[in-house]
Structure 1
Amino acid sequence: MTLYYSLVFLLLVFEMVVFMGLIVPLPYAVKRKLFAFISESPLIAKLQYGLKITFIFILILFIDSVNRVYRVQLEMAAYSKDTTGVGAAALGTERMEVQARKFYSQRNMYLCGFTLFLSLILNRTYIMILDVLRLEDRVKLLEGDKKAGGKDAARVAEAGSVGEIGRLRKELEAKDRDIETLKKQTEGLQREYHNLGDKVSGSDSAPKKDR
């Protein structure tokens, strides 16, 4: 195995280890701190950028290995037609060499293909775990746990926590009671105003009768 394919194999092993680390069950607090560090660390960001460039080269190797497998298949088809005649033994030796090249080409194709495929799985798994953590934060906040989450969680708490909704309902009921009290006071003031108006009109009409 050449050096660059050995590096691809090491990268494949590294991806397998990372994938196992992602799916290992951990406590919520530990997992949240771990993924917060991965998301915010500049070192991890540089590593991810380097891996993206590396995967581009692996994609080129994968395309080259597919091309080699296709050419070896054509050679195998040509040798299968020329197995009779005087040079059958020589053709048999050459065919073994072609089969060996076919084996190595297929091995390289599978190695690069699985490495690229696992990189896609890792990326999707990482995104799904982040989504699950956000949803768990939101659920905890809706249940009234103000300590869950960070800055984003604080915004969610202001908008939709059960404790916040209960407090708003109590304030609304208090406002309704205040409005009812104001209505009663207004009606009382209106009655008093009408009574006062009747008294004033009665006192104004009394001297006219005396005259």
Structure 2
Amino acid sequence: MSLLMSIVFAVLVFEMTLLAIMLLPLPQGMQRSLVTTIDSLLRNSQIRVGLSFIALIVSLMFFDAMKTSFPHKDSSFAAFSAQNYPVTKTIGQSIWDVRSKKFYAHRNMYITGAVLYLMVAIYFNDLLLSSIVRNKEKLIKATDPKAKQTEKTSSIEYEKLQHELKLKEDDVATFKRQLNGMHAEYQKKADDSTKVAEKTEKTTDENKKQK
């Protein structure tokens, strides 16, 4: 793995860790501190420029890997097959080189795609958590006996807050299920790619021994 892809993979691990922390059932104070910290970072102009630059670079890498993963048909091999030429070891080796490049392109496409997906997921999850924290604080104030002495809250508003909080919690639960499904699919793709790579390396070694 190249240095650039190693950095992208490190970003992917950081995003997965951050998203896992955001989805944990943290206490109200810790959850409020986490949301406040993330919001303050996102409001920073320098950090926003850096995130935009990272998103642009990763997007270019994603489209480049996708273009390499689905190349146009090579006319040279088609000409050999059409004229019934024997496939030599050099041509066979070239075929395996092309397949290896295609495998690495698929790997890069999965990693960069996951980085972009988690970047969007973290942003929308932050919006959901911010709304949940605000509604919880309103609910705590509405049910606090001391607060009732200074501020009267109608029962209609109280039920509305409870309903909104339940909707937001349902959204978070749905998001968790989607994230688990994406993680399982990503793990399956990674396992399949590893098996293909091992098979490719084994075949390449056998071809070299035959030479």
* 1:140 to partner: Cα distance: 2.1
Question: Secondary structure of the equivalent of 1:133?
Answer: helix
Q: How does 1:66-77 map to 2 (within 5 A)?
A: 66-71=66-71, 74-75=73-74
Deviates more, 1:42-51 or 1:104-113: 42-51
Count residues with an aligned counterpart. 152
> What is the rounded CA distance, in whole Å, between the counterparts of 1:65 and 1:131 in structure 2?
37
* 1:79 to partner: Cα distance: 3.6
CA gap 1:116/1:70 in 2 versus in 1, 3 angstroms: same
Q: How does 1:53-202 map to 2 (within 5 A)?
A: 53-71=53-71, 74-75=73-74, 79=77, 82=80, 84-144=84-144, 161-162=153-154
CA contact (8 A) 2:41 2:47 kept: no
> What is the rounded CA distance, in whole Å, between the counterparts of 2:14 and 2:114 in structure 1?
13
> What is the rounded CA distance, in whole Å, between the counterparts of 2:79 and 2:25 in structure 1?
57
CA contact (8 A) 1:141 1:161 kept: no
Q: Please list the CA deviations of residues 172-203 of structure 1 after superposition, one character each: whole Å capped at 9, or x if unmatched.
A: xxxxxxxxxxxxxxxxxxxxxxxxxxxxxxxx
* 1:22 to partner: Cα distance: 0.8
Higher-Rg structure is 1
* 1:146 to partner: Cα distance: 6.7
Partner residue in 2 for 1:151:
none
> What is the rounded CA distance, in whole Å, between the counterparts of 1:41 and 1:104 in structure 2?
34
Aligned partner letter, 1:74:
K
TM-score, scaled relative to structure 2: 0.61
TM-score, scaled relative to structure 1: 0.61
Q: Unmatched 5+ residue regions in structure 2?
A: 158-211
Partner residue in 2 for 1:174:
none
* 1:91 to partner: Cα distance: 2.0
CA contact (8 A) 2:42 2:48 kept: no
* 1:97 to partner: Cα distance: 0.7
> What is the rounded CA distance, in whole Å, between the counterparts of 2:73 and 2:26 in structure 1?
51
What root-mean-square deviation, in Å, do the aligned CA atoms of Structure 1 and Structure 2 show?
Answer: 3.0
> What is the rounded CA distance, in whole Å, between the counterparts of 1:20 and 1:81 in structure 2?
52
* 1:145 to partner: Cα distance: 6.2
Partner residue in 2 for 1:4:
4
CA contact (8 A) 1:59 1:116 kept: yes
CA contact (8 A) 1:144 1:162 kept: no
* 1:103 to partner: Cα distance: 0.7
* 1:132 to partner: Cα distance: 0.8
Q: Unmatched 5+ residue regions in structure 1?
A: 148-156, 166-211
Q: Which has the higher contact order (CA 8 A, sep 6+)?
A: 2
Q: Please list the CA deviations of residues 46-103 of structure 1 after superposition, one character each: whole Å capped at 9, or x if unmatched.
A: 43441222111110111111111122x623x864774552234332111001111111
